[in-house]
Amino acid sequence: MTRERMTQAEEESRNRSTKVIKPGGPYVGKRVQIRKAPQAISDTVPERKRSTPMNPANTIRKMHSGNSVSQRPYRDRVIHLLALKAYKKPELLARLQKDGVNQKDKNSLGAILQQVANLNPKDLSYTLKDYVFKELQRDWPGYSETDRQTLDLVLSRKLNPSQNASTSRSES
């Protein structure tokens, strides 16, 4: 009976131990027993809790900059994207989802596009209707500096067509 207990104790010991292999070392194949103290487990959990508040701060800061766009009306977000370039509907939806979009807004995209955009039948892309350019804000929070420069060029062409027409006539 004691022999059985010894065998059982040895098997449990083998199951709890880990083989440490050091290449070229004298202790190749030596078994090292790992003991997990209950204090170590309870200490590591508060450590993680103490270190996590830094991550949400960064996340909140990142979300705050993108949040200002996602809090804006969906129609405004659509027109400010279409002002910069022509988009196909799936591309536009993917771009809008980067900033966050709810299901109700996603379902209303078709209706908004009919109001504010023209469909190019050749490549199925949408471009902003001319009258909507007056609603654009140059300081839109979703725009980078490059986007603002692009918008300035587009607006100067769209809002001053007579000046551009006279310039192009005098050049030719």
Q: Is residue 36 part of a domain?
A: no
Domain of 78 in residue numbering reads as 74-162
| 89 part of a folded domain | yes
> Taking the CB of residue 136, how many other CB atoms lie within 10 A of it?
20
| Residue 69 falls inside a structural domain | no
pLDDT in tens, the chain (172 residues): 788 888 988 888 777 766 666 666 555 555 666 666 555 445 455 555 555 455 554 544 444 444 578 788 999 999 999 999 999 999 999 998 888 888 888 889 999 999 999 999 999 999 999 998 888 888 889 889 999 999 899 888 887 766 555 544 444 4
Residue 90 to residue 125: CA distance in whole angstroms: 10
CA 36 remoteness from chain centre:
39
**Per-residue pLDDT at 60:** 45
Phi, psi of 104 (to 5 degrees): -60, -45
Rounded Cα distance between 30 and 22, Å, is 9
141 within domain boundaries: yes
Per DSSP, which regions of 22-159 are E strands?
31-33, 87-88, 117-120, 125-128
Residue 140 Cα to chain centre, angstroms: 19
Element housing 118 (H / E): strand 117-120
Q: Are 34 and 16 in contact (CB under 8 A)?
A: yes
* Burial classification of residue 141, based on how many CB atoms lie within 10 Å of its CB (0-12 exposed, 13-18 middle, 19 or more buried): middle
Kindly state whether residue 93 falls inside one of the protein's structural domains.
yes
Whether the CB-CB separation of 116 and 81 falls below 8 Å is answered with no
Residue 114 lies in a domain: yes
Inside any domain, residue 66: no
CATH code at 109? Answer: 1.10.10.2670
* Domain total of the chain: 1
d(CA 98, CA 80): 14
Q: Is residue 25 situated within a structural domain? A: no
